[in-house]
Amino acid sequence: MTKREVTPALAREFGLSAEEYGRVLAIMGRTPSFTELGIFSVMWSEHCSYKSSRVWLKQLPTAAPWVIHGPGENAGVVDIGDGLAAVFKMESHNHPSFIEPYQGAATGVGGILRDVFTMGARPVANLNALRFGHPDDPRTRRVVDGVVRGVGGYGNCVGVPTVGGEVNFHPAYSGNPLVNAMTVGIAPRDRIFLSAAAGVGNPVVYVGSKTGRDGIHGATMASAEFDAATEEKRPTVQVGDPYTEKLLIEACLELMATDAIVAIQDMGAAGLTSSSVEMAGKGSVGIELDLDQVPQREAEMTAYEMMLSESQERMLMVLRPDRQDVARAIFEKWELDFAVIGRLTDTGRIVVRHRGAVEADIALDPLAEQAPLYHRPTADTSKLPLLGEVADPAGLVPALLTLIGCPDLCSRAWVWNQYDSTIGGQTVQRPGGADAAVVRIEGSRRALALTTDCTPRYCAADPEAGGMQAVAEAWRNLSAVGARPLAITDNMNFGNPEKPEIMGQFAASIRGMAAACRALDFPVVSGNVSLYNETDGRGILPTPAIGGLGVLEDAGQCVGLALRPGLDLVLVGTASGWLGQSLWLREVAGREDGPPPPVDLAAERRNGDLVRELILAGRVRACHDVSDGGLLVTVAEMALGGDVGATLLDAPAGSVPHCFWFGEDQARYVLAVADADAILIAAESAGVPAQRLGRAEGTHLTLPGGVSISLAELRAAHERFFPAWMGS
Amino acid sequence: MKAGVVVFPGTNRERDIAIALQAASGRRPRMVWHGETELAGLDLVVLPGGFSHGDYLRCGAMAARSPVMGAIRDFAAAGGHVLGVCNGFQILAEAGLLPGALLRNASLRFLSQDCHLRVERADTAFTRHYQPGQVFRAPMAHGDGNYFADPATLDRMEGEGLVALRYASPEGAVVPEANPNGSARSIAGILSPNGRVMGLMPHPEDLVDPLMGGTDGLPLFAGMAEALAA
Amino acid sequence: MKAIVMVMLKPGVLDPQGKAIGHALQTLGFAGVGEVRAGKVIELELSESDPARARASAEEMARKLLANTVIEGFHVEIAS
Amino acid sequence: MKAIVMVMLKPGVLDPQGKAIGHALQTLGFAGVGEVRAGKVIELELSESDPARARASAEEMARKLLANTVIEGFHVEIAS
Ligand SMILES: Nc1ncnc2c1ncn2[C@@H]1O[C@H](COP(=O)(O)OP(=O)(O)O)[C@@H](O)[C@H]1O
Ligand SMILES: [Mg+2]
């Protein structure tokens, strides 16, 4: 890219406001060079600086005795016992996935994997939380097809099982799908690698793939200076190479078994710039880079291009000088590039040289400390009035068929069948088998439970309740397999933060999440913020996606959701018949209305603790939390899971049947147990409401009053949508 | 049984295979790097699943031409036993150690799901712990498992009893509905004429522990451990 | 009339497949191999008998379906 | 010198990808599309400057690696 004269207009093109550019001038004491301006613009971008969200994120609780590293590192780290730590994080690749669904999703998976293995953890599981436009929108199919292929294409090839996730559809995501990828890894708890550089004189080493002109600063793409010739060289969509990533994982883990690494950081957004600036900044040292040494894929790359390239599958390390050869041998064995591209200094500055010229020379402290931080105005989020009575237009069985077959509730087998979920040989609960995926830790009885959750329609109606609900549901899904919930990662997907109503949604969601995290002892240890998810001025539904992690001491104690014949069904929790924002209301009554179900955090905790205790005591054969679609959908999913029918008792006296069976009250679980009476007694002594629901038997789901529907018919309705829609 | 597990760049199910071999034989297999050519002392060589060399160009194509394959060819010629699973099967076919080729799944999608396999030959070192006609469950995870050979080759293979495993319904019926990837004659696993080289697409190694939902795959490894006990 | 549509990644877009093939050729001892790019070729039997119209139609197919123009370019040849 | 190697499935080998493309073209409203076959193209930059020798070498690469002759045929073109 040809250098251009640095002017306030160019700064604006690079996404810096006049005030921000003024700050750049003050820090530099002169007009910055083209490359320097590029460095400031990416470091101070929303993506790297969290300038709109930082003030709010601080409100999230991040500590607990088992938290080893909270937010601020490449990923969160928690103690899972046996001298091991789980390392995990979730990250969005929303915009790239709309432009190029396959590569956008694939590189999203690649990026989050690097965040985890850069800390010394072997990745053991991937999850993906996906939101798409309405299925009737002609664009949606192509996006779904590409995203699912991309997630699978990358994860399957690197050999990390994809064990869970979620899929939602809503018109608000039509021009703005959400692809949130989560990776979980395991490391010895005393062998965690961090990114703070140390040791003046130590070599700065680049490993992985070569650098090309991939994904360079979006702002400059619109530059009027582009002509036909540069058009060909135009910053391009990043293409992922999972094969190289697999080699990079093996090479890094092999090197991490030695004592060669002082600090390590993946090159993610803003590539070499953010990795070198952050490593040096965190370690309070200076750094010198010689770009002539950077492995390059294309000819004639400029300093600007190399500093801003987002080529995939690259890492930056600081090594002990006497271990450089050991490291080089390992990377050469794995056929990866290895190059010493600089060294640490004591100047507190980043100095970038290329072809004999100093292309950038910036003091690191002010670059970090004077980064913009905005207290953007927030508008209060209005609450919807309570729903009045809503009559049942359909009857229970037709409503059940509609719900269990609708895009938001139907079987996701079409999706997860494209993801290798068994590789590693440790997957105890695969997708669809339980409320959380369960992955055993190789060589032990211990296991991790993993889930992602968010109900965006609740968040849109009441962001605070929605944020709370998302955290509570993640906690509930972990409890429902018998795991002890430990911590979450989050992915805050919102619209334009410059609009007060969007910032209001953000702030309220954080408030709700923070309250739930505190009440459930479920801190946030990592996360990601994705703003400006808008097309033509219309924002997405506020979507604070939550990735939850829990631990089981003995994988053999976990339960799935499949019914078995002869068991009693018990509902734990209270059914008030809450229809506001329920799927029944939307799919059956045709309304999106009312406030979402309130979250009673004390009840969540009490009910979940009881359920977990019962599971670990071996008194529960199957368990499923009650979420989207309500009680009858929950029971139907359990029946389909075990291929056994159930006979249900009457709704309690005084309740309205369709409200009872389809309401979406929180803090509830359905248990399948051998001895319901004993469970009811246990619940009573714990102060937890519980009631008998029915019994698992036969080949039909039989509702009170004797109406019944065969499992075969239910299954056909449940499994129809995806294959029919995608044409195979 | 002394087993070697070959690791190509991009192989990713070597740990799964090692776990299954150890569960069955009590012995840790030796990991053999793709550049090695020394296989002396081994009773069994396993080529595990994965995406060797990214599976770029064609699945298994580049791995089939790597140095270790010459050694494996000699090892097989000298009567050694070789098992290729998934990518390993693709590599053996690309190397010409087994007939035919593995094409894209008929659905053109990666398929990760359980399938059922009917045992067509129970008199080999690999399958001796199953009964003839027995059906067992196995996970599968591949994009290119659609077995192809020309009709004459298929007829010859059937005649010589070289089909080891077929996709079937849980009840053992070999029907199109139970053929997940479009394989010719529902073929899931085949043998070399001397019965000492076997390739199969599914992953019995991922079903050897009740915690993972069953032990249907264990007899494969137990059978080899018994037959090849040194 | 036969149309042959060749679809290749645009210059500058990473081509992991081409890279791996080049590497493998080198390992197999082929000397003098420089850059390798991998792409797709689609052969279409068209009922159209006018070459110009056949080309125009194949090009439209490439734009609409055969190529992903975000990352790929294409090239059409007409044979009879 | 540039060699272009086109690799196609042999006649008689089922080509589900070609079939799927044909079907999709029809759905998009393209009329008069008969059989569709999908294959691969590999472009090689060769240091060889003699066209005949370049061709011979590309053909050997195809036989040894680029095509699986159990299922695929190939065709080499030399451009300068
Ligand atoms: N994108 C996905 N990838 C893998 N598994 C998925 C995906 N979406 C949904 N699943 C799986 O489908 C099952 C049902 O999902 P969901 O209805 O969201 O569960 P819940 O309501 O219990 O949280 C879960 O096992 C989940 O992990
Ligand atoms: Mg759930």
Distance CA A727, CA A175 (A): 23
Structure tokens at C44: 């279409």
D61·C25 Cβ contact <8 A: yes
Segment A625-637 mean pLDDT: 98
| Mean pLDDT, range A293-309, rounded to an integer | 95
Report the distance separating Cα B99 and Cα B92, nearest Å.
9
* Residue among A246, A420, A442, A557 with most chain B CBs within 10 A, to mutate: A420
Give the chain C residue nearest B63 (alpha carbons).
C24
- Give every CB contact of residue A724 below 8 A, 6+ residues apart in sequence: none
Sequence letter at residue A649: L
User: Do β-strands B135-142 and A708-710 pair in parallel, antiparallel, or remain unpaired?
Assistant: unpaired
Contact A416, A151 (CB under 8 A): no
The SS3 assignment for A289 reads strand
B115 is catalytic: no
Residue B214, CA distances (Å) to A427, A595, B129, B211 in order: 12, 45, 16, 7
Give the residue, by CA position, lying nearest to ligand 1 atom 5.
A164
Instruction: Report CA-CA distances (Å) from A219 to A35, A223, A275, B80, D56.
Output: 14, 8, 20, 61, 48
Sort out which chain C residues have CB atoms less than 8 A from D24's CB and list them. Answer: 65
Q: Which residue has the tokens 């479009």?
A: B182
Over residues A491-517, the mean pLDDT reads 97
Q: Residue A237's pLDDT is what?
A: 81
Interhelix angle for A34-43 vs A18-28, to 10°? 120
Tell me, using a 6 A CB cutoff, whether residue A463 lines ligand 1. Answer: no
Interface residue B227 vs chain D (CB under 8 A): no
Residue type, C37: R
The Cα A598–Cα A595 span in angstroms is: 8
pLDDT at A265 over 60: yes
Mutate to test the pocket of ligand 1, among A160, A416, A452 (most ligand atoms within 8 A of CB): A416
DSSP letter (8 states) at residue A384: P
Q: Given an 8 Å threshold on Cβ–Cβ distance, is C13 in contact with A236?
A: yes
Tokens read off for A123:
């990745």
CA distance linking residue A367 with residue A373, whole number of Å: 13
Hey, is D58 helix, strand or coil?
helix
Q: How many residues are given for chain B?
A: 230
Residue at B162: amino acid letter:
L
Are the Cβ atoms of B19 and A425 closer than 8 angstroms?
Answer: yes
* Mean residue pLDDT across chain A: 94
| Strand-strand pairing, A447-453 and A437-440 | antiparallel
**CA A625/CA A629 separation, integer angstroms:** 11
pTM: 0.95
Distance from CA of A536 to the nearest CA of C (A): 21
* Alpha-carbon distances, residue A301 vs A295, A338, A357 (angstroms): 11, 19, 14
Ligand 1 close to Cβ of residue A626 (< 6 A):
no
* Token pair 């099967």: residue: B89
Query: What does the pLDDT average to over A550-554?
Result: 98
Residue (of A340, A345, A343) closest to A285 by Cα position: A345
Nearest-Cα residue of chain B relative to residue D71: B101
Which residue's C-alpha comes closest to atom 4 of ligand 1? A164
- The answer to whether the beta carbons of residues A437 and A429 sit under 8 Å apart is yes
**Are the CB atoms for A3 and A220 separated by under 8 Å?**
no
- Mutating to test ligand 1, I would choose from A93, A109, A403, A412 the residue with most ligand atoms within 8 A of its C-beta, which is A412
d(CA A56, CA A58): 5
Q: What is the pLDDT of residue A536?
A: 82
CA angle B62/B64/B69 to nearest 5° reads 130
Residue type, A548: G
Residue whose CA is at the smallest distance from ligand 1 atom 24: A432
D3 three-class SS: strand
Interface contact flag, B58 D68, Cβ < 8 Å:
yes
- Among D31, D32, D44, the residue with its CB nearest the CB of C33 is D44
Asked whether A114 and A122 are in contact (CB, 8 A), the reply is no
User: What average pLDDT does the segment A671-677 reach?
Assistant: 97
Statement: residue A230 has pLDDT above 50: no
pLDDT of residue A217: 63
Q: What's CA A115's distance to the chain center, in Å?
A: 12
For residue A675, count other CB atoms closer than 10 A to its CB. Answer: 12
Q: Does C56 touch chain D (CB under 8 A)?
A: no
Instruction: In whole angstroms, give the CA distance from residue A539 to residue A546.
Output: 20
Q: What is the pLDDT of residue B68?
A: 96
pLDDT, residue B230, reads 64
The CA–CA distances, whole Å, from A335 to A242, A267, D53 equal 14, 19, 31
- Quick one: DSSP state of residue B207? S
In chain A, the percentage of residues whose pLDDT exceeds 90 is 91
Percent of the residues in chain A that have a pLDDT greater than 70, as a whole number? 97
- Whether residue A130 has its Cβ less than 6 Å from ligand 1: yes
Helix, strand or coil, per DSSP, at residue A326: helix
Query: Does position A58 have pLDDT exceeding 50, yes or no?
Result: yes
Is residue A226 predicted with pLDDT exceeding 70?
no
- Residue in the structure block whose two tokens are 């019926």: B173
User: Which residues of chain B are within 8 Å of residue D68 when distances are taken between CB atoms?
Assistant: 58, 61, 94, 101
Separation in Å, CA of D3 to nearest CA in chain C: 10
A159, A243, A422 member nearest B139 (Cβ): A422
- Residues of A within 8 A of B113 (CB-CB) are 413, 417
Complete DSSP assignment for A505-569: HHHHHHHHHHHHHHHHT--EEEEEEE---EETTEEPPPEEEEEEEEEES-GGG---S---TTPEE
| Residue nearest atom 18 of ligand 1, based on CA coordinates | A166
At residue A636, the 3 state secondary structure works out as helix
Q: What's A74's DSSP letter?
A: S
Residue D65 and residue B103: Cβ atoms within 8 Å?
Answer: no
**B33 in contact with C at a CB cutoff of 8 Å?**
no
Catalytically annotated residue among B86, B94, B115, B129? B86
By CB neighbour count within 10 A (0-12 exposed, 13-18 middle, 19+ buried), where does C25 fall? buried
- Are D17 and B94 within 8 A, CB to CB? no
Q: Which residues contact A680 (CB under 8 A, 6 or more apart)?
A: A570, A690, A691, A692
Task: Determine contact, residues A376/A506, Cβ cutoff 8 Å.
Answer: no
| pLDDT at residue D17, rounded to an integer | 93
Across the B/C interface, how many CB contacts are shorter than 8 Å?
22
Spatial CA neighbour of A208 closest among A112, A327, A76? A327
pLDDT computed for residue A4 by the predictor: 84
Asked if residue A382 has pLDDT above 90, the reply is no
- Burial annotation D43-72 (CB, 10 A radius, 16+ → b, else e): bbebebeeeeebbebbbebbeebbbbebbb
Alpha helices in chain C (DSSP H): 16-27, 51-61
State mean pLDDT over A375-391. 91
Tokens at A308, concatenated: 């801003």
**Amino acid A701: pLDDT:** 98
Would you call B12 and A246 a contact, using CB atoms and an 8 Å cutoff?
yes
Three-state secondary-structure class, residue A184: strand
> Is the alpha carbon torsion for C73, C77, D3, D7 positive or negative?
positive
pLDDT of A219 reads: 40
User: Pseudo-torsion of CA A723, C67, C34, B12, nearest 10°?
Assistant: -10
Q: Would you list which residues of chain C are within 8 Å, Cβ to Cβ, of chain A?
A: 9-16, 19-20, 23, 68, 70-71
CB of C3 less than 8 A from some CB of D: no
Separation CA A122–CA A93 (nearest Å):
22
**For ligand 1, mutation pick of A126, A132, A167 (most atoms within 8 Å of CB):** A167
Check whether A344 has a pLDDT greater than 60: yes
pLDDT classification of A233: cutoffs 50, 70, 90 = very low
* Predicted pLDDT of residue A270: 85
Please indicate whether, in this complex, the C-beta atoms of D65 and B150 are within 8 angstroms of each other. Answer: no
Tell me what pLDDT residue A727 has: 85
Q: Which ligand is nearest to the CA of A625?
A: 2
Which of C25, C27, C68 has the highest number of chain D CBs within 10 A, making it the mutation to test binding with D? C25
Pair A585, A386: CB distance under 8 Å:
no
CB–CB contacts below 8 A, A to B: 95
- Give the mean model confidence (pLDDT) for residues A495-515: 96
Q: For chain B, which residues score pLDDT lower than 50?
A: none
